[in-house]
Every structure is written in C-alpha cells, then in structure tokens.
Amino acid sequence: MEISSFPFPYLQDDECSHFLGLFQDMDSSPSTFGLEGFNSNDNNTNQKKRPRKDDEGGGGGGGGTEVLGAVNGNNKAAFGDILATLLLLDEEAKQQQEQWDFEFIKEKSLLEANHKKKVKTMDGYYNQMQDHYSAAGETDGSRSKRARKTAVAAVVSAVASGADTTGLAAPVPTADIASGSGSGPSHRRLWVKERTTDWWDRVSRPDFPEDEFRREFRMSKSTFNLICEELDTTVTKKNTMLRDAIPAPKRVGVCVWRLATGAPLRHVSERFGLGISTCHKLVIEVCRAIYDVLMPKYLLWPSDSEINSTKAKFESVHKIPNVVGSIYTTHIPIIAPKVHVAAYFNKRHTERNQKTSYSITVQGVVNADGIFTDVCIGNPGSLTDDQILEKSSLSRQRAARGMLRDSWIVGNSGFPLTDYLLVPYTRQNLTWTQHAFNESIGEIQGIATAAFERLKGRWACLQKRTEVKLQDLPYVLGACCVLHNICEMRKEEMLPELKFEVFDDVAVPENNIRSASAVNTRDHISHNLLHRGLAGTRTL
C-alpha cells in the first residue's frame, strides 16, 4: 500500500511512520478492524461448498482466496479516506484557532493603546486644572493682601490726619481690617463669586450729588428713602449662616434702577455687584411688594372731597363742568408670547412700523394733576380702547354701581359716548360750537397723554420690548404707575432729555354713541362753551 497516494502536506516523518505501522497491522490482522465476522462467514461458506467443488473436479479452490483479498483491499482504501478527511479537518481547526488567536492579540493591543492614550490625556487635563486653580488661588491671595494693605494704609492716613487736627488718635483695628471681621476667617468661600460693589457703595453714600442720583434713579434721595421705608418690612430678609442678606435699600435700588434705565440685567449685575438671576429675582420681588403694599396707598379712586376739588380744577381751566378725570390707553411692546400669540398681535403698530409687533395695554384715568386714579393693566394688544373699557373695573364696578353719576371722564375718539364718558365729535363738517367743544376736550385729553409720556419717559423699561414673563408683567407695569404717582405727588422734576412722545393709533368704534341722554348733554355743554363766552377766542 502506497502512502503517497494521500496528499498530507503538513505530516511529519514520525506521523507517517505511525500510519505505515497501522496499515501493516491491518494487513497482518484484519480481525482487529472488525472483519472477524466477515472472514468467518466466508470460511463457513467455503467449507460447505468445498465438497461440492471437490466433487466437481477440484477447480474452485483458488476463487475464495481472490474474494477475500479484494474485500481487504476495499476496506483499507475506505479507512485511508476517513483518516485523510480527519487529518484535513484537524488541520483546518488548527488554522482557524491560530487566526482567532492572532485577531484577539491584535484587538487586545489596540484596546491597550487606546486606554493608555486616554489615561495620558486625562492626566494632562487634570494637571492643567490643578495648575489653573493654583494660579487662581495665588491671584486671589495676592489681591486680598493688596486690598488689606491698601485699607490699612487708608485707615492709618485717616487716623494720622485726624490726629493732626484734633490731637487724638484712636487705635486702628488691624484685626478687623485684615480678616473682614473680628472672629471670621480672612478668605472667601469658593462658592461665592467676588464682584465689585464700588458703584453702589458710592451712590448710597450721603455725600453723593443729588443731580447724579436723580439722573440714575429718576427721583430724589428723599423720595427713594421714603420708598425704602415703606417697603422695609416687606422686602427685608434675614441673615443666614452662609451669607448676609441683601439690605432693603439695595434691593429697592436694583428694582428702581432697572425700571428707570431699562438696562439689560447684565448691566444691573455689574453696577450692583450681584448675579444676573439674583437681579431679576429682586426686580420681580420688589415690583410685587410695590403692587401689594404701595398701590392701595398711592393709586386709588379719589374720595368725595377730592372729586369735588378735581371738578373745580378742570372747570376753572377748561370750562367743562363735572369732569373727574381723563382716560387714555397706551401699548407696551413685548416679545411674542408662547401662547395666544394672535391675541397680543398689534395690527396697527405692525402696519405703521413695518415690523411684527406684539403688545400689552395699560389703560388709565388721571386727575387734573396727571396722577393715576384708576388703571387697567394686562389686556392683549389686539383689543381696541372701547373693548378694554368694557373689561375694566371702571365700567363693571364703578359705573355699574352709580359711583360716576353726575360725573364725566373725558376720552378721545377711540371711546364711545356713554352716561359717564365724554368724547369729542367725530363726524365731518363740524359747527363752530362743536369745534370749540372738541378743542376743550382735546386739552383735557392732553393731560392724560402728558401723564403717559412722563410715565414712559421716566421709566425707560416701558419703551422697548421686555423679556419679563406675561404673568409677572402686570406687577412691573403696576409698580411703574405707583412710582409715577409718588414722583408726581412729591413734585419730582423730570429731566428734559427724558421726554418721550407717545403715539398710539386710535380706532373709532362702530357704535360710538351709546346713550341718547349723553348726546343731549354734550350738545348743551358745547352750546354753553361758545354762546356764553366760555370757549374764549381760540376758535376764531
């Protein structure tokens, strides 16, 4: 049997010798490979058939040997094929295992390289952060040392100058200067960001110039101190173990300066040395306090004696009797709200400015001195003047309860003529009498217009779009109206450069006459103005 007939390219010499010995054993003892039964059957058959063949002449003895040799040859060939297949499968398994081992080692080396790279990067980042914090700590330490040295030098010089003039020198509390307090540590906590408060410290000093204070806060120091005293119990907070509370004057100052200048919150933060979110929170809190505490005291409907005094003032100047106030509606621009956008869309301002505008309204009644006696705040900008009036407490409460009987509130042509609301003639081709009446009504209406001009000029936050939320905006607008009344009552002068001109489109309502008796009364008033010489000569 030739081994070379089976291609084994990877077999070694010892393996070939092993297989040669195996096949030799197969040749010598076929019974060991399970051929015993096959040979025994052939022998029995031959033994049974041999006598017959012998009887026939003894010519069949060589045939049995040939058959046995052929069977043994076929079995050896089959076993050779099986062994060759097993060797091939074993070789393929070895090659596949070697491939897997190679890929595993490659992936492992790649992962280790990436891990080392990340570790190196993180180590570098942490080293940079450590260096940064170390440098920041050294800078803060040197800055605090310089500040303490400067403070000590200033105190020493002040004491020395005082000693020269008085001959007495008080001991310098160096421990307090160095540490900021007699018992506390000298360093700030890391969670407190150090901000400068130089501007507020300078403004809050008693020797700060009055003109500059009025330019910054739109009021005098005495008026500002009055507001602080009124709100002290409401806005004052308690100190905690972590930090001291912001004083009430500083809280009020943040709110008033923000309303007066309309500056962004980041500028307010820089001026007062507070965080941006803290400034926004203080503005809303103080506006709510003004709305809740000061509005019932400084913005209220006049008493009977005050109403009689107001009627006398209007009649003495404008010759129209029983006038208790003048009404006007203005729009405050806002950013497009997230809900009910169409309700706040201002079509008239959009057409005039050629820019999409959204607004919220403020409708107010002022007396002869330009002081608000009633305000309606928060209606959407898409409503007209008469629609806002119908929703206001002036119409639903005071007029419905008869509080405006025998009294007039003067409005422009955007309001309807009612039993308590007096408006000018709006038709074409007016008579001399009607023209004189319209001029007198226009003068009274000018008082309300001028009051709103001072309101927007004094509080610049009302001149541009505000980022205050809609639910907080009525408190801000109400606070501006209250502060306006306080300034007007205390005769606070308004700087000329703060003058602001309001311009709100007036839409004549479809049903502008809603009372027949009011028509007759208006005609009677206009007749008296001209024919009794009350209108003067301005219509000629």
| Mean pLDDT value of segment 391-396 | 92
Specify whether the CB–CB gap between 310 and 367 falls below 8 A: yes
- Check pLDDT > 90 for residue 306: yes
Q: 442: buried, middle or exposed (CB in 10 Å: 19+, 13-18, 0-12)? A: middle
Q: How confident is the model at residue 45 (pLDDT cuts 50, 70, 90)?
A: very low
Pairing of strands 358-366, 323-334: antiparallel
Helix and strand totals (H; E) in the chain:
19, 5
Distance CA(115)–CA(97), nearest Å, equals 27
3-state SS, residue 362: strand
What's the token pair of residue 503?
A: 């311009």
Instruction: Dump pLDDT digits (tens) for 476-522.
Output: 999 999 999 999 999 999 988 999 999 887 888 888 898 999 999 99
Lookup result for tokens 């180590």? 123
Domain limits, the chain: 1-40+77-92, 198-297, 302-531
pLDDT tens digits for range 321-359: 999 999 999 999 999 998 899 999 999 889 888 889 999
| 7-11, 103-107, 525-529: segment of lowest average pLDDT | 7-11
Share of the chain above pLDDT 90, in %: 54
Which pLDDT tens digit goes with each residue over 160-191?
555 444 443 344 343 343 334 444 445 544 45
User: How high is the pLDDT of residue 47?
Assistant: 45
List the one residue out of 360, 398, 389 whose CA is nearest residue 377. Answer: 360
Q: Residue 50's pLDDT band (boundaries 50, 70, 90)?
A: very low
Q: Which region among 15-24, 108-117, 273-282 has the lowest average model confidence (pLDDT)?
A: 15-24
Q: Which amino acid is at 346?
A: N
- Does pLDDT of 468 surpass 80? yes
pLDDT category at 72 given cuts 50, 70, 90 is low
* AA identity, residue 166: T
